[in-house]
Structure 1
């Protein structure tokens, strides 16, 4: 179920898959072809949530700040 396992199965000729853009390597792979979707491309929203009773807000803030600090191709932040 890991992305790497799925990529190896596709490279071995065991089918095709859809992977997140962030998992596409910079360097080409000899046995894989990465083909982007045509517009309108599917999207997904990933959110950070926690329980109100969670007492370690500093940990959540540190995680949020680390996410905001990462320049990620194809990612649009909804708020900052």
Structure 2
């Protein structure tokens, strides 16, 4: 988990890369977060389901919940 990795870094076991969404707003003791210089690495996360999935309403509800979240650093590719 990200928390386990953060504790490992805090205990001096190395460095790691974490998503911007996991960086706490308040400074933490023993861990320093450094932003990447340009060009910043990116990743694409998608929501997919089988064409035969019969509970489209469940997918729509999940999508709507994700859209309702404030996600700093996230660029939505479509609506």
Asked if these proteins are the same fold (TM beyond 0.5), I'd say yes
Cα RMSD of the aligned pairs, angstroms, is 0.5
TM-score (norm 1): 0.97
Q: Deviations over 1:27-59 (max 9, x none)?
A: 101100000000110000000000001000000
**How many residues were matched structurally?**
79
Q: Unpaired segments of 5 or more residues in structure 2?
A: none
User: Structure 1 residue 26 and structure 2 residue 25: aligned?
Assistant: yes
Specify which structure has the bigger relative contact order, considering alpha-carbon pairs within 8 angstroms and separated by 6 or more residues.
Answer: 2
Query: In structure 1, how many angstroms separate the alpha carbons of the residues matched to 2:73 and 2:38?
Result: 13
TM-score (norm 2): 0.98
Structure 1 moving runs of 4+ over 2 Å: none
| Paired residue secondary structure (1:59) | helix
Query: In structure 2, how many angstroms separate the alpha carbons of the residues matched to 1:24 and 1:68?
Result: 20
Q: 1:70 offset after TM fit, Å?
A: 0.8
Q: Unpaired segments of 5 or more residues in structure 1?
A: none
